[in-house]
Structure 1
Amino acid sequence: MHMLRWCCGHTRRDRVQNDDIRDRVGVAPIEKKLIQHRLRWFGHVQRRPFEAPVRSGVLKQADIVKSGRGRPKLTWDESVKRDLKEWNISKDLAMDMSAWRLAINVPEP
């Protein structure tokens, strides 16, 4: 946001809302872009063969470690499931790369 404000010629003292600056510059919200990148990586992982370390679980964290107090941390798998449900996208769509790109595309305003 600092860079976008600088491009528009505003400072924080001007008290211009972030949404107005993003609309003026034509940038999508960062939350949607993060979800798009996470789902894009999920598509890469889904298209890998089952023997790949990413799919077979070699790279997953060990479950032997005792968890601390409080709520458990949000895992990558859980966040992807939440994103798929929120965007109403099927997991099987990831096998078709062109359809997957269209489904996860975040249009710039």
Structure 2
Amino acid sequence: MVVRPAMLYGAECWPLKEKHNTKLSVAEMRMLQVVEWFGHIKRRPCDDPVRRVEVLDLTYVKKGRGRPKKTWLENIRNDLSLLDLNENLTFNRTQWRKRIHVADPT
């Protein structure tokens, strides 16, 4: 995945133990599961409760100070652009799986 180089930045300064390797693998798997879950959600019907949350209007919620928080969908779209994926690809399940399940480079 794309995030491995970012997570390993500066790793030459610390010894890589098995617990570090396990934590890196767990983090990568969680990120992959989020992208897989997004594909599952996009294939659901538009009137499904999970899909209705996408268009939920939260204008009545009081906003705090500072930069607005990124939404889940904004984070997913950012991840998709990093992985060079398109949202429309989610509707073709076989192509989606081929694109998100990449071989481990190590």
Instruction: Say yes or no: TM over 0.5.
Output: yes
**Percent of residue pairs bearing the same amino acid type:** 31
Task: For 1:94 and 1:68, locate their aligned partners in 2 and report how far apart those are by CA, in whole Å.
Answer: 34
5+ long unaligned stretches in structure 1: 1-14
- Cα deviation digits, residues 3-51 of structure 1 (max 9, x gap): xxxxxxxxxxxx51369x63xx7x6472x43331111111011100111
Asked if the contact 1:28–1:107 (Cα under 8 Å) also holds between the matched residues in 2, the reply is no
Task: For 1:35 and 1:87, locate their aligned partners in 2 and report how far apart those are by CA, in whole Å.
Answer: 12
- Cα deviation digits, residues 69-109 of structure 1 (max 9, x gap): 01111210100110111100011110111211111114343
Pair 1:59–1:85, CA change in 2 (3 A)? closer
Aligned pair 1:107/2:103, yes or no? yes
Name whichever of 37-46 and 50-59 sits farther off.
Answer: 50-59
Query: Which protein has the larger Cα radius of gyration, Structure 1 or Structure 2?
Result: 1
> Could you say what the CA RMSD is over the residues aligned between the two structures, in angstroms?
2.9
5+ long unaligned stretches in structure 2: 1-13
Aligned pair 1:85/2:84, yes or no? no
Give the corresponding residue for 1:5: none
Give the corresponding residue for 1:39: 35
Give the TM-score normalised by the residue count of structure 2: 0.68
Give the corresponding residue for 1:12: none
Where 1:63 maps in the other structure, the secondary structure is: coil
